[in-house]
Amino acid sequence: MSTKLEDRYVEAKAAAKLYAETEADLIKLKLVKGTTRYIGKFIATTLTILLGFVSLIILLMALGFALAEYFQSASLGFLCSGGIGLFITLLASMLLRKILNRSIIQGILKELYDAS
């Protein structure tokens, strides 16, 4: 009778160990899933912002040349273009901070209250 009890104890111990390992693996997978989602969003946002800045610089250079021709002074044309670029950058940074904070908070809340 003692051998059956010992066998069941060994089986239960093995099952508990397998369960604990499976739960640890599941936690790791959930952590990787959430982390990769946020890393992907961060990279996509960073690349979008970088592309926007490069486009802005090219457009401001073209505007600088156009204003230089209009004012017949390269320094005045590029000074106006730089001022417009500074205004656009300040405006975008203020709006971008609000948009990013809102999207980050909504993403966190969605993750916390997601049923799946």
Q: Are 88 and 52 in contact (CB under 8 A)?
A: no
Element containing residue 116 per DSSP (H, E): none
* More confident: 106 or 33: 33
Residue 115 has pLDDT above 80, yes or no: no
Hey, how many other C-beta atoms are within 10 angstroms of the C-beta on 77? 19
Contact 64, 79 (CB under 8 A): no
pLDDT digit string (tens) for 32-89? 887 888 888 888 888 988 998 899 899 999 999 999 999 999 999 999 999 999 998 8
As given in the structure block, the two tokens for residue 115 are 């049923």
Q: What confidence tens digit (pLDDT) does each residue in 7-18 have? A: 888 888 888 899
Does the model's pTM come out above 0.85?
A: no
